[in-house]
């Protein structure tokens, strides 16, 4: 599922994506590398705005838990878009026989 965070407060919200929690729970590291050291990313959400496409692991971050309990952040879950069906069969031919040439 994709998570959307909505800033319900009148202030800017900054959420630190802590490596030990977010990256390991999500299975993908989003940290930046600078000088051979790993630096956690931060997400800034302006007042009244939303940021989409987070992994479920964002709900385990202490900053997010605190902000949701305080009513400063709202969470919206979105199911992933359905995959298009792929037809493995050939399309049916008309039961009429096609005539060749002039009748």
Domain spans of the chain, in order of start = 2-77
10-18-74 Cα angle (round to 5): 35
Q: Which helix (H) or strand (E) holds 39?
A: strand 37-39
Residue ranges of alpha helices (H) inside the chain are 24-26, 62-70
pLDDT by residue for the chain (103 residues), tens digit each?
789 999 999 999 999 998 888 888 878 888 888 888 888 889 999 999 999 988 888 999 999 999 999 999 999 998 777 777 777 677 676 666 666 665 5
At 97 the pLDDT is: 64
Q: Encoding tokens for residue 97? A: 């026989």
Task: Count other C-beta atoms under 10 Å from residue 28's C-beta.
Answer: 10
Give the pLDDT of residue 99. Answer: 62
């Amino acid at each position: 599922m994709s998570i959307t965070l909505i800033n319900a407060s009148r202030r800017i919200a900054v959420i630190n994506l802590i490596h030990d929690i977010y990256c390991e729970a999500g299975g993908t590291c989003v940290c930046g590398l600078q000088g051979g050291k790993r630096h956690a990313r931060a997400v800034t959400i302006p007042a009244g705005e939303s940021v989409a496409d987070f992994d479920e692991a964002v709900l385990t971050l202490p900053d997010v838990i605190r902000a949701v309990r305080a009513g400063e952040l709202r969470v919206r879950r979105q199911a992933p878009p359905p995959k298009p069906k792929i037809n493995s069969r050939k399309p049916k031919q008309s039961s009429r026989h096609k005539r060749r040439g002039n009748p």
